[in-house]
Amino acid sequence: MVDVHRVKLPGVGVLHSFYTDDGGKCGVITHRSGHSDLISFADVSDGADRAQKVSLRLSEDEAHTLAELLGGTRITEGLSKLDEIPGLSIDWFSVDYEDAIAGKPLGDLAAAGIIGLTVVAVVRGDSANPAPSGDFVVFPGDTIVVAGSPEKVARAFAYYRSGVLAAASVEAPPGG
């Protein structure tokens, strides 16, 4: 198991780094803007006069692609296994200033007519608020994580975005 070091970079984001078997150091700086920097450099304690350094700026999509090419993380693999459960969707909603939920409490989705959906957490900055109550106030920049059927997740996100509860879709029975 690789020992990963995590360092908060005030005003920038977070650096995750680890040492490789050959004495190098590899890391990722995750910026608050969503960009990531993949960095690699030699350890200066090995007697080298100058550490060789490589830095590569990646967009969010590029970082996800690189992670997939490298095999993903254990967390991603675990979530992927959960996604294979029929009828279960785990998704997140990033709250913007214009969203109806911004600055308001989560409320009770069941009382709003969305039954069978769970708000797993609200992520704010570097911390998660697991299983928040209905009076938990959501702000722009927060991420709401929910679990339920794909249809109910979509309905809840539409409700958070517009403040209006969309009618539930009714599917015709097979052969009908």
Give 46-62 pLDDT, tens digit per residue. 555 555 667 777 777 77
Report the C-alpha gap between 94 and 77 in whole angstroms.
22
What global pTM score does this model have?
A: 0.50
* Tokens read off for 1: 């198991």
> What does the alpha-carbon distance between residue 64 and residue 53 come to, in Å, rounded to a whole number?
23
Rounded Cα distance between 5 and 91, Å, is: 28
pLDDT at position 103, please? Answer: 93
pLDDT 10s digit of each residue in the chain, 176 long? Answer: 678 788 888 777 788 888 877 777 888 888 877 778 888 876 555 555 555 667 777 777 777 777 666 654 444 455 545 556 677 777 788 889 999 999 999 887 777 778 888 888 888 887 788 888 889 999 998 988 888 888 888 888 888 888 887 665 444 334 43
Residue 113 DSSP SS3 = coil
